[in-house]
Amino acid sequence: MTIMKLQSYAAGQWIAPAGRISQLKSAVTGEVVAELGAGDVSMAAMTNYAREVGGPALRAMTFHERAAMLKRLAQYLGGRKEELYELSYDTGTTKLDAMIDIDGGIGTLFVYSSKGRRELPDDVLLVDGGIEQFGRTGSFLGTHVCTSLQGVAVHINAFNFPVWGMLEKLSPTLLAGVPAIVKPASATAWLAEAAFRMMVESGILPDGAVQFIAGSTGDLLDRLTCQDVVSFTGSAATAQMLRSNPLIAQNSVRFIAEQDSLNATILGPDAGPDTPEFDTFVREVIREMTAKAGQKCTAMRRIIVPQAMMEPAIGAITARLEKTLVGNPRAEGVRMGALASLAQRQDVLEKAAVIGSEARRVFGDPDSFSPHEADAGQGAFLPPMLFACDDPDGASAIHCTEAFGPVSTVMPYRDLDHALSIANRGEGSLVASVFTHDPAVARHAVLSSGAYHGRLYFADRDTGKEATGHGAPMPHLVHGGPGRAGGGEEMGGIRGVMHYMQRTAVQGSPDLLAGITRTFIKGATPRTSGVHPFRMTFGELDIGQQIRTASRTVTLEDIEHFAEFTGDTFYAHMDEEAAAANPFFPGRVAHGYLILSFAAGLFVDPAPGPVLANYGLDNLRFMKPVSPGDSLSVTLTAKAKTRRNDEYGEVRWDVEVTNQDGDTVATYELLTMNAM
Ligand code: NDP
């Protein structure tokens, strides 16, 4: 086997390993797979390059351009994933495990790409929330905007997901317009390096957007400023050590940590052995114990079951574990591979011994176990080990010892409150799951346990095949947890992008805020040109382009005609006495939809032109009733534009319908697709 020499990628150059070289061994055969050594890497040069080259290049791109870049990257990596699967075996993983890591990482890029295009503007600045008006006239306003941090994101990743761990952090970071320096965990660095190298070879990312450290981070953390972010995954001890770097505190460097977690699962009081929930629970426990050989930050460490279910649950789980073939992940039929390294295996054995001091082992003897088609002496193999603790209240180690491998402990509960209090003894976890078909149990669990867990996963017979599993963090949802889990949050859709941006309150006049946000704001000076804005193409239309229509009087005949025509004969429109008795109406009033229809009749320019389609209304409010005899007119203003593709873009129009006294009777935002 050729030994890979892992290189750093700094300031646009690959740098060969040098200095103190460490050898990385196959988790399966013990053979040397790769060599690692920091080489001549200057942290100063890396941070400067990120700040001076990568950052400006990314910030010059809009969210949509960055999102498109993530999609191209995902497609590129998807085309080369077989090469990564091949390299993954020596980290101890089965093909299925490798797919969680590699396809999971690529999938995260796709999700962020799609969210970036759908939920963020085609701009470099994000408006966060609405306009705040401080005075009566609206001449001085405030809002919030988010802009990209002008520093670098330092991503320190764990060994267990070398590809997903890298891509789940890079996706929101790059979408935010921030360059990253990636430091993979040494144990599986060859796989991370290969995936990183592919990203560079793709030529898709701008120079300086990503850099890579094969080896130690040296004085990197001492160089960070208020514009930088550290996002760490690994052990609590390392997180604490890095976080206590005085410069991190002094410069208020954002520090996101995702660390140890004593995740729990609860078999609901209603989920007896004859229920579908029980079967799903057993299946999930097996998956959590054996996928990635239990080396998942989200794996179930504590299995909490009703007292009466202890023996049935243990029986069902052990029956399935017996059928799980453990061994060489390349061999046919193997369901669980090796741990990432012999050191990791040793660590798990030590932690299992601590758990064993409070719990009896009911499955998996590491001393009398031989892996399938593998040499137990060379590879980092362990059997799944299931413990049972009959007194979870009296125990302490089982609630705070994370054996980062195929190790879980079953324990009994008296009632639901007891179960939840046991789950909370993890003192902050990434995820807890509850297998129940009872919504009251689910709500009770959220109220009693939500504060202790970053994610609560509920499984019942209805979640079916679409259920993503206890252990799978979804890019759309928050991944992270309080307390022992690190107190950080990753992903969570666009929430994750915000970790790499600064939210700034901005205050000023309507015209200034409109200029800053490139959005029309009520009170800002409109533009008028004598041409109806529906005659302007997407490119010709300026934000603030406005027309004010003629007026139209609403008659009682109109209201009755509309009622009969549509079938909406609600009493407020048709029964004078009943309408007058209603505290909101002076008597019979026009339908809200009649107001909208008349408004469209007033502002629409009918001839074929650049407006292709009306595809919705946002934020519709009826502010004042319209009585027979009232006259309506409309002010239509181009509020915001979002390019969709080369042929058309979305225009958001501010629509205000007023009556003869100038009072607003309805406001909304109309969305149209306009040709380029
Ligand atoms: P570590 O905390 O030792 O390492 C995590 C990352 O931090 C690695 O990239 C590591 O690099 C890096 N690192 C370590 N020391 C420094 C330093 N001084 N400066 C900068 N970076 C540093 O965790 P391990 O990966 O060894 O795993 C140990 C335990 O952590 C596991 O057994 C498990 O309990 C827990 N863990 C939890 C995870 C979770 O998501 N909850 C995930 C993975 C692990 P290097 O590898 O080169 O030392």
| Count of other CB atoms within 10 angstroms of residue 671 | 18
Report pLDDT for 59. 98
Counting ligand 1 atoms within 8 A of each CB, the residue from 46, 222, 231, 238 with the most, and so the one to mutate, is 238
If one counts every other C-beta atom within 10 angstroms of the C-beta of residue 562, the result is 19
Ligand 1 contacts (CB < 6 A) are 156-160, 183, 185-187, 217, 233-235, 238, 242, 258-261, 297, 347, 402, 404
Q: Ligand 1 mean position to 25 CA, how many Å?
A: 17
CA distance 356 to 395: 11
The predicted pLDDT at position 582 comes to 94
pLDDT in tens, 32-91: 999 998 778 899 999 999 999 999 999 999 999 999 999 999 999 999 999 999 999 999
pLDDT of residue 376: 86
Assess whether pLDDT exceeds 90 at residue 661: yes
Question: Which pLDDT tens digit goes with each residue over 355-394?
Answer: 999 999 999 999 999 999 998 889 999 999 999 999 999 9
Q: 564 alpha carbon to ligand 1 midpoint, in Å?
A: 71
Whether 464 has a pLDDT exceeding 90, the answer reads: no
Q: Give the span between the Cα atoms of 251 and 224, in whole angstroms.
A: 8
Asked if 650 and 672 touch (Cβ cutoff 8 Å), the reply is yes
Class of the CATH domain delimited by 264-474: alpha beta
Query: Residue 392 in 3-state DSSP?
Result: coil
Phi-psi region of 618 (alpha: psi -120 to 50; beta: other; left: phi over 0): beta
CATH of 39-259+496-502, one of 1.20.140.10, 3.40.30.10, 3.40.605.10, 3.40.1380.20: 3.40.605.10
Could you tell me the distance, in angstroms and rounded to a whole number, from the CA of residue 217 to the centre of ligand 1? 13
Query: What's the alpha-carbon Rg for the chain, to the nearest Å?
Result: 30
671 C-alpha to ligand 1 centroid (Å): 49
How sure is the predictor about 270, in pLDDT bands with cuts at 50, 70 and 90? very high
- Residue 576, pLDDT > 80, answer yes
Which of 159, 217, 240, 295 for mutating ligand 1's site (highest number of atoms within 8 Å of CB)? 159
pLDDT digits (tens, 9 = 90+) for 546-558: 999 999 999 999 9
Nearest CA residue ID for atom 34, ligand 1: 404
Where are the domains positioned within the chain? 39-259+496-502, 264-474, 526-675
Nearest ligand 1 atom to alpha carbon 187 = 46
| pLDDT for position 655 | 98
HEC states along 20-54? CCEEEECCCCCCEEEEECCCCCCHHHHHHHHHHHH
Report how far residue 481's alpha carbon sits from residue 477's, in angstroms, rounded to the nearest whole number.
12
Question: Quick one: what percent of the chain has pLDDT higher than 70?
Answer: 100
Do the beta carbons of residue 430 and residue 479 sit within 8 Å? yes
How many angstroms is it from 438 CA to the middle of ligand 1? 39
Q: Give dist(CA 583, CA 579) in Å, integer.
A: 9
Please list, residue by residue across 54-84, b when 16 or more beta carbons sit within 10 angstroms of its beta carbon and e when fewer do.
bbebbbebbbbebbbbbbebbebbeeebeeb
Distance 157 CA to ligand 1 centre (A): 7
Q: Which residue's CA lies nearest to atom 28 of ligand 1?
A: 235
- From the options 3.40.640.10, 3.10.129.10, 3.40.309.10, 3.40.50.720, give the CATH code of 526-675: 3.10.129.10
Confidence label for 486 from pLDDT (cuts 50, 70 and 90) = very high
Atom of ligand 1 nearest to the CA of 485: 41
Q: pLDDT band at residue 176, thresholds of 50, 70 and 90?
A: very high
Q: What is the mean pLDDT of residues 493-513?
A: 97
pLDDT of residue 217: 93
Query: How many helices and strands, by DSSP H and E, does the chain display?
Result: 21, 29
pTM over the 0.80 mark: yes
Which residues in 493-530 are b (16+ Cβ under 10 Å) and which e?
A: bbebbbbbbeeeeeeebbeebbeebebbbbbbebeeee
Identify which has the larger pLDDT, 598 or 2. Answer: 598
Residue bearing the CA closest to ligand 1, atom 43: 234
Sign, CA torsion 516/517/521/527:
positive
Instruction: Give the mean pLDDT of 226-238.
Output: 95
Residue nearest to atom 24 of ligand 1 (CA): 234
Q: Could you tell me if 379 and 30 are in contact, meaning their C-beta atoms sit under 8 angstroms apart?
A: yes
pLDDT of residue 465: 85
The residue nearest atom 32 of ligand 1, judged by CA position, is 404
Predicted local confidence at residue 38, as pLDDT: 72
Closest CA to 335 of 292, 296, 385, 365: 292
Q: Which amino acid, one-letter code, is at 97?
A: D
pLDDT tens readout for residues 184-204: 999 999 999 999 999 999 999
For residue 148, report the distance from its CA to the centre of ligand 1, in Å. Answer: 28
β-strands 302-306, 264-267 pairing: parallel
pLDDT at 39: 75
Pick the residue whose CA is nearest to atom 29 on ligand 1.
235
Q: Does residue 167 carry a pLDDT above 80?
A: yes
Catalytic residue chosen out of the listed positions 146, 297, 389, 656: 297
Closest listed residue to residue 328, CA positions, set 378, 385, 364, 287: 378
DSSP letter for each residue of 149-190:
-SS-EEEE--SS-TTHHHHHHHHHHHHTT--EEEE--GGGHH
Set 168, 258, 277, 358: catalytic member = 258
HSE-CB of 235 using CA atoms within 13 angstroms: 11
Query: Which of 235, 345, 350, 484 is the pocket-test mutation for ligand 1 (most atoms within 8 Å of CB)?
Result: 235
- Kindly report the average pLDDT of the chain as a whole number: 96
Look up 297 and say whether it is catalytic.
yes
Contacts of 201 (CB under 8 A, 6+ apart): none
Task: State which ligand 1 atom lies nearest to the alpha carbon of 239.
Answer: 2
- The rounded distance, in Å, linking the Cα atoms of 383 and 182 is 33
End-to-end, the C-alpha distance of the chain in Å comes to 56
Q: What is the pLDDT of residues 606-632, one digit of tens each?
A: 999 999 999 999 999 999 999 999 999
CA 50–ligand 1 middle distance (angstroms):
24
DSSP letter at 631? E
What pLDDT does residue 636 have? 97
Instruction: Output the pLDDT for position 50.
Output: 98
Residue 474's CB is within 10 A of a number of other CB atoms, namely 17
What percentage of the chain carries pLDDT values higher than 90?
Answer: 95
